[in-house]
Amino acid sequence: MKKLGLFTIGLLFAACTDYVQQYEQDYKAEYGDAELYEQRHSGDAESCDSTESSDSEESSDSAKSSSSVNSSGSNGSSSSAKSSSSAKSSSSEMIDISDKLGTCKPGNPSVSVGNTTNWVITKGEKVSSALFNSGNLVWTFGEDASPQTRTVKADLRSGVVTYTSAGKKKAMVKFTAGNQTGTITCSELTVVDDSTPGSGDVTCGSTDLWCKNESYRVETGVDAGKDEGGYWWVIDDAADGGKSVIEWPVERGNGYSPDAFDGIIDYCKGMCGTYNLDKGNLVYDPWVEVGFSIAGKSQTSTDNLPADLTDWGGICITYTSDIAASLVIHPDSALERQMGYDVPFVSLLKQSNAIEKCFEWSKFIQAGWGAEKISGDVAATYVKDIAFKIQGSDGSTGKFNIIRLTKKKEGGVANLSTWSYLNPSSTYELIRDKRDGHFYRTIKIGEQTWMAQNLNYAPGGDTISYCYDDNPKNCNVYGRLYTWDVAQNVCPDGWHLPSQNEFTQLVYKAGGENAARNLMTINGWHLSGTTDCEGFSALPAGVIASEASGEMGSQAAFWSSTDGYRMAIQEIGAGPVSVSMEMGEGEKDWAYSVRCVSDD
């Protein structure tokens, strides 16, 4: 946002009824065309002078004197007129006409700290325009205003000012013309500051994710293992060649520590700062972001892990910003890279007063320049971070404040994404199922390429495949469960249900008799000591049997394309837990997981 400098605007002449509209247009344009403004101003002044009549003999004399002076050139008679007028004024007793001068009020009843406002005079009916136009105006705006006092020439009717603090503000104008003087006390202006303590009439509730300074971290309800879920962070465009920064109202702590923003949150009753956008060497508009993690890191990961926020239904934010901003979903890092960083977002309008905006996940869309497409609903299942992003033209500066965050659906919970259970030491690739837009991580094991996640495709809706406990959240983490017949045709193009021989090769590569522990996820089982050394990341998704369901959390079974054949891993024991692995026939009407293997 461009900072407005000091400027002034011409006095309203009585006979020009359209001058107010013209003034507003010129003001909003910030005098981008100075020559055009001067032409309009001169035209209005000339027409007013030619049509105005005097209210009294004295004002008539003043008008004649003023006309003589204004029409003077470089000849001797004009100099004489000026001298005569000056002598008359100095020899006359000063007359107070304060009760006749008119009124003064702010151009708007309220304004934010740091923004420019104008004070406007409306001339009183009992004062002639000729007299008013010949006078001088001295504005007094107050101690915390810039400027504090401004002498305004006779043909200007407005004082322009920027305030540095919030509160009720007063202004006063002193008028002097010849032997007449007067003072106008302006009506009050309310200056608000939404980025400092005491700002915003926002009521926090018990179901908020985060609100003002009542908590330092966002209560996401999910954590990957290091107790880092919900911590705030900041990033700018420096890595891409930009020079944008956020100036904080108080000193920020260590940028990598959990309490780095505590002092700022206390001060702002929110998360506030001043953005300064500097393009530097960027080829696109400069930007800054303030965001928070969802699940944080695990004991073995080096990056924040993704969570499934489907059950939140979306997110609500209460904020202020001097520039249009956006709310951004940052998915899993590998997915974000594959998308070319064209991440889903929703737009937030410029907002000077605190306002709440709510968005369903489906409303989050990509800009469209990335190679990979993803819907907001799908992105919500892989959320690593959520950020408030400010991006604008070079040189833009202004304030922002994030005040409150809530879930769109009250009571909605977050769950670790299935990607959070993958082995951080393994190298995965990424594929997209074009049928429903879901993404899957894949892993090369020996000569085979496997999906590292259970399939979560619903052929024919929910009627012929199942979520454990009929809970869709279980599908998002553990994948769907299929009967043998249905499983034969559920893998996407380029992939197929593995044969008995392909499962045998997998087990051999994973260690034969020791394969179970080497194929199981490091976290997610009751059993300790699992290694997932091949990156297969088998989760205990459970099974659905005709009589009863096998416990989710203690067993996994995968269908094969070979008639009735399946591979199963199961924890055994009520005390010390061990693991068994079995390959053989299963019940075709029972529902097991599906892992697809590449055709290549």
**84 closest CA partner among 74, 76, 95, 93:** 76
**558 closest CA partner among 590, 529, 595:** 595
Cβ count near 440 (within 10 Å): 24
Question: Residue 499 has what DSSP assignment?
Answer: P
Q: Which amino acid is at 266?
A: D
β-strands 415-416, 325-331: how paired? unpaired
Q: Looking at residue 549, what is its pLDDT? A: 59
Q: Looking at residue 94, what is its pLDDT? A: 86
Q: Looking at residue 193, what is its pLDDT? A: 61
Cβ count near 191 (within 10 Å): 24
Torsion of CA 580, 584, 586, 591, to 10 degrees: 60
Question: Residue 521 has what DSSP assignment?
Answer: -
Question: Residue 516 has what DSSP assignment?
Answer: H
- CB burial string 156-179: b at 16+ within 10 A, e below: bbbbbbbbeebeebebbbbbbbbe
CA separation for the pair 11, 155 (Å, rounded): 5
Q: Looking at residue 319, what is its pLDDT? A: 96
Q: Looking at residue 575, what is its pLDDT? A: 64
Looking up tokens 């889903």, which residue turns up? Answer: 344
- In terms of residues, how long is the chain? 600
pLDDT digits 0-9 by tens, 511-548: 988 899 999 999 899 888 899 999 999 999 999 986 65
What is the SS3 assignment for 271-329? EEEEEECCCCCCCCCCEEEEEEECCCCCCCCCCCCCEECHHHCEEEEEEEECCCEEEEE
Sign of CA dihedral 177, 181, 187, 191: positive
β-bridge mates for residue 95, sequence order: 180
Q: Looking at residue 547, what is its pLDDT? A: 61
Secondary structure element (H or E) that encloses residue 63, with its range = helix 57-70
- Which token pair is 392? 């604008």
Q: Looking at residue 593, what is its pLDDT? A: 97
Q: Which amino acid is at 105?
A: K
CA separation for the pair 29, 31 (Å, rounded): 5
- Which token pair is 590? 């029972």
Residue 541 contacts residue 590 (beta carbons within 8 Å) = no
- Which token pair is 353? 């007063």
β-strands 307-308, 287-293: how paired? unpaired
Cβ count near 567 (within 10 Å): 27
pLDDT digits 0-9 by tens, 1-23: 222 222 222 322 333 334 334 43
Chain-centroid distance, C-alpha 335? 21
For every one of its 600 residues, what pLDDT tens digit does the chain have, with 9 covering 90 and above? 222 222 222 322 333 334 334 434 443 443 334 343 343 334 333 333 333 333 333 333 333 333 333 333 333 333 333 343 434 444 468 899 988 888 888 877 777 777 777 778 888 888 888 888 788 888 887 766 665 545 544 444 566 777 777 777 888 888 888 888 999 888 888 776 655 443 457 888 888 999 987 889 999 999 999 999 999 999 999 999 999 999 999 889 887 788 899 999 988 989 999 999 999 999 999 999 999 999 999 888 889 999 999 999 999 999 999 999 999 999 999 899 989 999 999 999 999 999 999 999 999 999 998 888 899 999 999 999 999 999 999 999 999 999 999 999 999 999 999 999 999 899 999 999 999 989 999 999 999 999 999 999 999 877 899 999 988 889 989 999 999 999 999 999 999 999 999 999 999 999 988 899 999 999 899 888 899 999 999 999 999 986 655 678 789 999 999 998 999 998 887 666 788 888 888 999 999 999 999 999
The radius of gyration of the chain from alpha carbons, rounded to an integer in Å, stands at 36
Angle made by CA atoms 82, 87, 93, in degrees to the nearest 5: 130
CA separation for the pair 346, 499 (Å, rounded): 45
**440 closest CA partner among 462, 465, 457:** 457
Show Cβ contacts of residue 57 under 8 Å, excluding neighbours closer than 6 positions.
none
Residue 201 contacts residue 354 (beta carbons within 8 Å) = yes
What is the SS3 assignment for 513-554? HHHHHHHECCCCCCCCCCCCCCCCCECCCCEECCCCEECCCC
> At what angle are helices 34-51 and 19-28 packed, to 10 degrees?
160
Rounded to two decimals, the pTM is: 0.64
CA separation for the pair 196, 403 (Å, rounded): 11
- What sections of 73-216 are H helices per DSSP? 76-91, 98-101, 129-133
Q: Looking at residue 70, what is its pLDDT? A: 35
- CATH numbers and ranges of domains, the chain: 9-192 (2.60.40.10), 210-418 (2.60.120.430), 422-598 (no CATH)
**586 closest CA partner among 481, 509, 511, 496:** 481
Residue 457 contacts residue 435 (beta carbons within 8 Å) = yes
Q: Looking at residue 160, what is its pLDDT? A: 74
If DSSP codes are grouped into helix, strand and coil, which group holds residue 192? Answer: strand
